[in-house]
Amino acid sequence: MFWKIVGALIVAWLAFMVIGSVIGFLLKAVIWIAIIGGAVFLGTAAYGAIKGRNEPKRLR
């Protein structure tokens, strides 16, 4: 009975380790994608602000 409990604890510990590593990897990937997307957005906004200064804006 003791070894069944120890085995179950080891299996549960391994499951938590695998799930934790997968979730940690996904969170890091999402954070890096958000950083890269923000940088691209800011670069595009800066380019549009610099490029579009000479053209007057008209409301139609």
Across the chain, what does the average pLDDT equal?
Answer: 91
Question: pLDDT tens-digit profile of 45-57?
Answer: 999 888 876 666 6
Q: Please count the other Cβ atoms lying within 10 Å of the Cβ belonging to residue 5.
A: 9
Q: Provide Rg for the chain, Cα atoms.
A: 26
Both tokens assigned to 52: 């579009």
Is the pTM above the cut of 0.75?
no
Q: What does the pLDDT read at residue 51?
A: 84
Whole-number Å distance between alpha carbons of 27 and 31:
6
Statement: residue 29 has pLDDT above 90: yes
Mean pLDDT score, 27-36: 97
